[in-house]
Amino acid sequence: MPNFALLIRTKEVENVATVAPIAGRRWGLKLSCASCSEVTPNFVYIDESETVESDGGSANAMFSCKFCKKQISVNVLTKAYGTYDCTSAKPMPVAGFEVRGAEPVEAHLEEGWTVVATESEKEFSEGVNLDDDWVDYDDKGEQSVSILGVEVSFAKLGK
């Protein structure tokens, strides 16, 4: 069963060292069906603390393709959480998913991120919504911090 990494790349950051997902957060994905290639019309939310059972087994999320009815299941790979280094110009993996019957094509980043400021190493995790531009002020380091734009991509993970 194929595993996929979710990679991010920040377009423009100010005084931010790293960005990492908060473990246990939910993930919104759009998936392309492996049988008919149709993409789920809405985001499907996957919560690693939830287990859905079906004839074929169990997973964090399980549903049928709306078009061809193929069963799709998704598990969060809890060991695949990673940290994005903002000095990198390249996309870096920050999360992973085991997907059966489909492949991920889009992610809803929303809230659930920890951002670390450069000077003070102050952590921000409340209200860090990476679907929008994020701007805050680091009172310890006395500097503004921001992330303007995040690109998302996916890559197949080797076994």
CB nearer to Zn ion: pick between 40 and 60: 40
Binding-site residue total for Zn ion (CB under 5 A)?
A: 7
The number of angstroms, rounded, from the C-alpha of 13 to the middle of its chain's C-alpha atoms is 19
Residue from 36, 135, 148, 155 that binds Zn ion (CB under 5 A)? 36
Q: Which of residues 48-87 bind Zn ion (CB under 5 A)?
A: 65, 67-68, 70
Residue from 35, 114, 146, 153 that binds Zn ion (CB under 5 A)? 35
CB nearer to Zn ion: pick between 20 and 33: 33
* Residue 23 binding Zn ion, by CB under 5 A: no
Give Cβ neighbours of residue 87 (< 8 Å, ≥ 6 apart): 17
Segments of the chain assigned E as strands: 3-14, 16-21, 26-33, 44-47, 52-54, 57-59, 61-64, 71-76, 84-85, 92-100, 102-108, 113-117, 123-124, 134-138, 143-157
CB nearer to Zn ion: pick between 11 and 66: 66
**Interacting span for Zn ion (CB under 5 A) from 29-37, 76-84, 111-119, 136-144:** 29-37
The number of angstroms, rounded, from the C-alpha of 135 to the middle of its chain's C-alpha atoms is 20
Q: Residue 19 has which token pair?
A: 């960005």
CB of 68 to Zn ion, least distance (A): 3
Closest CA to 90 of 158, 155, 26: 155
Q: Give the residues lining the site for Zn ion (CB under 5 A).
A: 33, 35-36, 65, 67-68, 70
